[in-house]
Structure 1
Amino acid sequence: MRAILKAGSVVSVVLLLMLVCSCKKTTSADNQKKILAPDPLNNAVTKLTQVITHDIFSPTVASRIYMYSSVAAYEALVPLNSDYQSLTGQLKGFTAGPKPEAAQTYCFPLASVHAFMKVARTLTFSVEMYDEFENKLYEDYKDMGIPDDVFDRSIAFGDSVAAHVIRYSSKDNYKQTRGFRHTITNQPGTWVPTPPGYMDGIEPQWFKIRTLTLDSASQFKPVPPPAYNTDKNSAFFKEAQDVYDVTTHMTEEQKWIANFWDCNPFKLNVAGHVNFATKKMSPGGHWMSISNIISRQYKADIMKTAETYALVSIALFDGFISCWDEKYRSVRVRPETAINQLIDKDWTPFLQTPPFPEYTSGHSVISTASATVLTHLYGDNISFVDSTEVQYGIPPRSFKSFRQACEEAAISRLYGGIHYRSAIEVGLVQGGQVGEWVLGHIQTHKVIATKSEPTKQAN
């Protein structure tokens, strides 16, 4: 295995750093290390998050962009390491893609990052934001001593992989679900738009999007939430009272936790007659950032880094579909509406209520799904410092495990006043089910067959 190698060749990992580029003697061992470094891919994910945030994509749509971009990066990199295998036939409807030409030399890390950027450009709007980053990216690769013919061939391979993934994305029912609005029934206990924007429900048809690994959007259908009931002794009223009590007696730590995991792509600020938006990354973007942090912290090689982004983004994508399927089935009223009607007409949540039904908690589902994948990849009880929100003026937080982080992300929605406790607890279960299912149905490493002993026949 080499950073730059002929398609189909296999070289021991132990020898990797002892080799120089076979196609150009001036390519040093130091440049080989640079070519194999995961930094360009990590930086590409960060740049994509910046564009997704700027373009104000909803959490669900953002997960789709992350996933297809990450799958393209992984598929273009797979030829680099014979221990890994393609996602062909593992993702629903994902057929075999282009292969590198036999006996030709490629720089697969370059092809991988290029495929990522190509898909990212296709699925986002503000593509001019990529220009400076990409120009510098390709200049850096050329400065590593990659010959022109290898550079061009690698770019072309990245283009072909990206085109294959983009064709795959075009068949996931995304276009068919555009333009639909959720019908407000005004039935007691059902979701209605909330202040200050009173926006329509986001992505009411998301359950129709093609899943990647799940049998269907409703495969992990949660138990129904407590039925709406205005009786003070009912389970529903007690849940609303719980949200009210917690949010009116919050500690500073709880406020920090709520803000840290806010992840609201579009917070509408109202000041008199002036309205303006505050943009933040989506919940999925936060977990892609954690993936970035972990891959850097544990010095994961580029193949493991690409694997991390691919598996986490797949779990995010299927997690959102599973969650949104339930949201528009139960269409449960948000705490803000219920508390204003039943307990305190002047109460407002600590965080701005998102524009979609309450049950289950999206943060709980996708955070647990992501944490399940990361635990599988890096282990349990992995300590890390999450600096994702520093760019928004929020200090880093330390965690002793991915599980601790996902549980804090889940309970933050109670502190924020935007979810009842049952939506959080059931969401944790739902997300765990999605994460385990993804891990059980996606095999990134090749399985080495072992010769079994012949079966003895009874006389």
Structure 2
Amino acid sequence: MKARIIIVAALFALIGCDQNKEPITITPEDYHASVDKVTEVMIHDIFSPPVASRIFAYPNVGAFEILAKNNPDYNSLAGQLTGFEPIPEPDTTKTINFDLAALITHIDLSKRLIFSEDRIASFRDSLYAKWEKTNKVEFEDSKNYGLEVAEHMVKWMDKDNYKQTRTMPKFTVDTDDPSRWQPTPPAYMDGIEPHWNKIRPFVIDSSNQFVPSPPPPFSMEEDSDFYKEVKEVYEISNEITDKGDESEEIAIAKFWDCNPYVSVTRGHLMFATKKITPGAHWIGIAKIASRNTNADLAKTIHTYTKTSLAIADGFISCWDEKYRSNLIRPETLINEYIDDSWEPVLQTPPFPEYTSGHSVVSGAAAEALTSIYGDNFAFDDDTEVPYGLPVRSFTSFRQAAEEAAISRMYGGIHYRAAVEIGVNQGRKLGQFVVENLSMTN
């Protein structure tokens, strides 16, 4: 009997010790690390720009919802995002660390959305071991709630038509119409994500809510507006390449390239060089804004979430137009009508020309970030440093978006209409996101 009492007392003592441990602290840097890990894996897995935007959006929304559940300064997105219902209520008898639960949700959802799950799992397991050692009860309670929210998110996520688009037919190239998009060298890839306009939007009403004005009518007559745009791309390219690789225009083009499909040919061997997508570049800018202002964890998650939602809807809107107008790229026309040896500064990505995807999502992301940090937010963009490119400095998010747009002309992959109308399309969409999301009180 005495031995049993001693054992019970020892057990209570152990439980008491665990409960008296320091609470687990989650910092903005912990969240940045999770987002960076997702970006790293997406580069490795070579996700297309539209798919990458989806991978960023859902985990950030899940984390934000847990944040809003415990922070009166933030509002739930339930009822604000299409088809999104409130997340489960937390068990008030449990020791839930909401910051920790939010990060766990982000990690778990990210793992479900990429291919190389082992890379996220390894990252997760190292954190789990640390947190469990710090405070096992708090970790287990927080993990259980975070995973419960993740399951709720998955049910919503699975209804966005993504899985259905995986089995839809490939894009059919119209070889009879000279205005229609044709696959471009060196890989001559099929058109990427031709059914992305069928993905359920997050904030906008539908994929065709922000249909831009059409491009100039196709004509290769030398006095036509369209031909003048083709010739302008050719002349700008020749002008900046004559200056050499050190020209400012080439530096701008390369900085905003963000093409995960760049193919390199060496003899009979072809391989891909891996880069971030346009959305990932703007997620990187969101991180810079958060760090530069010493934003707390809540504001950091808010920044990522709002930016990723604008980017995701931007891709849905842009891709809707791309496969409607189905416009041929400058490289194809210049090679056929003007100079058969001409090559663009940047490799042409594998989808129709109009409007420019980078221009649209840059315009949208800039509006989201401006709504949080203001119009005159100067920053140094080091997002491309890991890919061997120098830092570029901007006086505002909108200035960065304008440069991202014009970079596509400097790169020789878009006409003027696609970048100017595209960035305006994104700006209008971004303003709609800002005006129709009530994320803060």
Indicate the TM-score class for this superposition, using the shorter chain for normalisation.
over 0.9
The residue aligned with 1:181 is: 170
Q: CA deviation at 1:99?
A: 1.4
The residue aligned with 1:73 is: 63
Q: 2:158 aligns with which of 164, 170, 173?
A: 170
The residue aligned with 2:109 is: 119
Cα deviation, 1:152-192, whole Å, max 9, x if unaligned, reads 01001110111111111100011111142111112011101
Tell whether 2:426 aligns with 1:436.
Answer: no
Q: CA deviation at 1:133?
A: 2.1
Tell whether 2:261 aligns with 1:281.
Answer: no
The residue aligned with 1:399 is: 394
Q: 2:28 aligns with which of 29, 38, 49?
A: 38
Whole-Å Cα distance in 2 between the matches of residues 57 and 127 of structure 1?
Answer: 14
Q: Size of the alignment, in residue pairs?
A: 417
Identical columns (%) = 49
Contact 2:80–2:437 (Cα < 8 Å) also in 1 = yes
The residue aligned with 1:457 is: none
Contact 2:183–2:191 (Cα < 8 Å) also in 1 = yes
Q: 1:325 aligns with which of 317, 320, 328?
A: 320
Tell whether 2:61 aligns with 1:61.
Answer: no
Whole-Å Cα distance in 2 between the matches of residues 190 and 131 of structure 1?
Answer: 43
Contact 1:98–1:160 (Cα < 8 Å) also in 2 = yes
Contact 1:221–1:326 (Cα < 8 Å) also in 2 = yes
Cα deviation, 1:65-123, whole Å, max 9, x if unaligned, reads 10011111111222331121211000000011111112432111111111011111111
Contact 2:347–2:413 (Cα < 8 Å) also in 1 = yes
Whole-Å Cα distance in 2 between the matches of residues 198 and 78 of structure 1?
Answer: 46
Q: CA deviation at 1:43?
A: 0.6
Whole-Å Cα distance in 1 between the matches of residues 132 and 70 of structure 2?
Answer: 19
Cα deviation, 1:426-459, whole Å, max 9, x if unaligned, reads 001100111011111111124xxxxxxxxxxxxx
Report SS of the residue matched to 1:83. Answer: coil
Q: 1:156 aligns with which of 125, 144, 159?
A: 144
1:375-454 equivalence runs, <5 A? 375-446=370-441
Q: CA deviation at 1:62?
A: 0.3
1:346-385 equivalence runs, <5 A? 346-385=341-380
Q: Which moved more, 1:96-105 or 1:188-197?
A: 96-105
Whole-Å Cα distance in 2 between the matches of residues 293 and 141 of structure 1?
Answer: 27
Contact 1:198–1:355 (Cα < 8 Å) also in 2 = yes
Whole-Å Cα distance in 2 between the matches of residues 50 and 314 of structure 1?
Answer: 20
Point out where structure 2 has 5 or more consecutive residues left out of the alignment. Answer: 1-17
Tell whether 2:232 aligns with 1:242.
Answer: yes
Flag the structure with higher helix content: 2
Contact 1:110–1:141 (Cα < 8 Å) also in 2 = no
Report SS of the residue matched to 2:91. Answer: coil
The residue aligned with 1:269 is: 264
Whole-Å Cα distance in 2 between the matches of residues 133 and 440 of structure 1?
Answer: 36
Whole-Å Cα distance in 1 between the matches of residues 100 and 72 of structure 2?
Answer: 18
Cα deviation, 1:231-288, whole Å, max 9, x if unaligned, reads 1010000000100011111141111111111101121111221111101011101111
> Aligned Cα RMSD in Å?
1.4
Contact 2:367–2:427 (Cα < 8 Å) also in 1 = yes
Whole-Å Cα distance in 2 between the matches of residues 336 and 43 of structure 1?
Answer: 39
The residue aligned with 1:294 is: 289
Q: CA deviation at 1:26?
A: 5.1
Contact 2:170–2:190 (Cα < 8 Å) also in 1 = yes
Contact 2:378–2:395 (Cα < 8 Å) also in 1 = yes
TM-score normalised per structure 2:
0.92
Contact 2:331–2:344 (Cα < 8 Å) also in 1 = yes
Amino acid at match of 2:289: I
Point out where structure 1 has 5 or more consecutive residues left out of the alignment. Answer: 1-22, 447-459
Contact 2:132–2:140 (Cα < 8 Å) also in 1 = no
TM-score normalised per structure 1:
0.88
Whole-Å Cα distance in 2 between the matches of residues 269 and 319 of structure 1?
Answer: 29
Tell whether 2:86 aligns with 1:86.
Answer: no
